[in-house]
Structure 1
């Protein structure tokens, strides 16, 4: 007996396709950030990281590399002043900003052969202890005032508060060598009151952090002074203790723009050229510009910091 299988009839060619059931609508909710959002987040993260690196680099410059810069200036100034003292041409009156004037020794602080420069603004004190231009030179009749940094650029006056009554201070200028003896102390709110006619006053900041006050140490000249030099010039606002050199702000802006331009050129070159070669080529340029940015930023800080 033969078995037959019934086949279902095929649909007609022009028959409409069966309709699919409608997909239920999704509930409204927060959308995940797309590629544009991720780029924004990544850019912000890079900017924050770069800012943190620059700030840490500035702190490293102030607390470490600024001392090397000051040591270089001191070595150059000492060689210049030694030659002038040997030829009897060292300044005994007003001099140019930053010019070496005297050699300072304070054994109790471990300070030896520190060169004192003319001027007390921020840039002058980057070179070493500074002589306030409107006061007499050490060894001359009157009150000579010297400023020094407490934390940065070698911190020559870091231990000033450790000086005791009776400690000696030796200063050599174009008029000879002079010895002072510490005898008084003061601060910004309590100036030193001493009736001695020939004195030396040392001033610095009152804190290792950003100083808000001053420390003053007074010393009397032992022996007779030498004659006065030419009339002293008037002090400028940047010569005062804790003053900031606001004139460094335009220079800081220009150096910052130059640094930004150099970084952009470096990144563009790295994409079009061999990356390692581009970084190696531009690294010295970027480093030099960054150093100039930090130096001008440091001039905006209190001059005795």
Structure 2
């Protein structure tokens, strides 16, 4: 009897909530440690590493995906413009335009077609890295394709669409066609030349030749220049008097040369990218990782692409 009363008293003494169930003890809040801010030196280092990572990412995209899209877009625009110039008889037939002014770098001068490779490219004036980003380029001190003399055309091996990636596989006798302001010309491939191979004999008076030049070796790792020579099989067009000679060409127009003029825009865009990377590190410390990526990621990519574009112009033009 006494044990029953003790149990009832113990139940009565147990605190309960409004529902009659025993109440749970209140949870204690444990304060979270405050996020430590990086010292200035670490912030600068993190910003520099972020800028470098964004530049490398943009460089890879520029040479691969973005560069190929840019090349295709430039080719479409140049093809439409050159067709219009042909229809209006305004296409250039020499080193100067119809007003007598020297052609601007990148101005369309010919259409190059190689049936075996399924290639059709608009050829621009000049052989700098910037010109070759849009397609093959005509060496300014040589005649236009189809004219009496030797015409030289440069093209990239791998970057920006790699229009000349397959010319090493051309065989003797393969056909090449070009269209200029003077009409269509046809060529027959004579062979492929690499560094150390014997050069061709000088042209006979009134004869024509086309030489295509690109990088030799693995993609993005050039090991000299590769040349494909083709002889003109159609009647040669007359060539106007030369205004530009080999002595007038800059160092950036030679095979496997970079464009030193890209340094100034590279420094300016690089400063902007570095500032954006520092701002990204600050935002990540204040806002959080995902918030910083959402706000600063597009800005880093937008700045990294022009930095990569300028960097690619410093690399060999036949890359």
Q: Same fold (TM over 0.5)?
A: yes
* Aligned length, in residue pairs: 270
Change (3 A) 1:168 1:79: same
2: CA distance between counterparts of 1:290 and 1:213? 29
Change (3 A) 1:292 1:281: same
Q: How much is the aligned-residue C-alpha RMSD, in angstroms?
A: 3.0
| Residue 116 (structure 2) aligns with | 108
Change (3 A) 1:268 1:289: same
| Residue 210 (structure 2) aligns with | 200
SS in 2 for 1:200: strand
* Deviation (angstroms), 1:226: 1.1
| Residue 179 (structure 1) aligns with | 186
SS in 2 for 1:179: strand
* Deviation (angstroms), 1:256: 0.5
* Deviation (angstroms), 1:235: 1.9
2: CA distance between counterparts of 1:174 and 1:37? 64
2: CA distance between counterparts of 1:206 and 1:90? 32
SS in 2 for 1:290: helix
1: CA distance between counterparts of 2:264 and 2:54? 23
Kept in 1, the 8 Å contact 2:186–2:232? The answer is yes
| Residue 153 (structure 1) aligns with | 160
Kept in 2, the 8 Å contact 1:120–1:239? The answer is yes
SS in 1 for 2:264: helix
1: CA distance between counterparts of 2:154 and 2:296? 39
Query: Which ranges of structure 1 fall in alignment gaps of 5 or more residues?
Result: 1-34
2: CA distance between counterparts of 1:120 and 1:191? 24
2: CA distance between counterparts of 1:77 and 1:37? 51
| Residue 169 (structure 2) aligns with | 162
Matched, 1:290 2:291: no
| Residue 86 (structure 2) aligns with | 85
Residues 226-235 or 152-161, more deviating: 226-235
| Residue 257 (structure 1) aligns with | 271
Which structure ranks higher in relative contact order (CA pairs < 8 Å, sequence separation ≥ 6)?
A: 2
SS in 1 for 2:66: helix
Q: Which among 237, 253, 263 is matched to residue 226 of structure 1?
A: 237
Find the structure with the greater CA-based Rg. Answer: 1
Kept in 2, the 8 Å contact 1:185–1:192? The answer is no
Q: TM-score w.r.t. structure 2 length?
A: 0.75
Change (3 A) 1:271 1:56: closer
Change (3 A) 1:191 1:144: farther
Kept in 1, the 8 Å contact 2:189–2:231? The answer is yes
1: CA distance between counterparts of 2:134 and 2:153? 13
Change (3 A) 1:93 1:75: same
2: CA distance between counterparts of 1:302 and 1:286? 26
* Deviation (angstroms), 1:56: 4.0
2: CA distance between counterparts of 1:43 and 1:150? 38
| Residue 244 (structure 1) aligns with | 258
2: CA distance between counterparts of 1:229 and 1:77? 24
Matched, 1:98 2:106: yes
* Deviation (angstroms), 1:64: 2.2
Change (3 A) 1:219 1:126: same
Q: Which among 196, 203, 206 is matched to residue 189 of structure 1?
A: 196
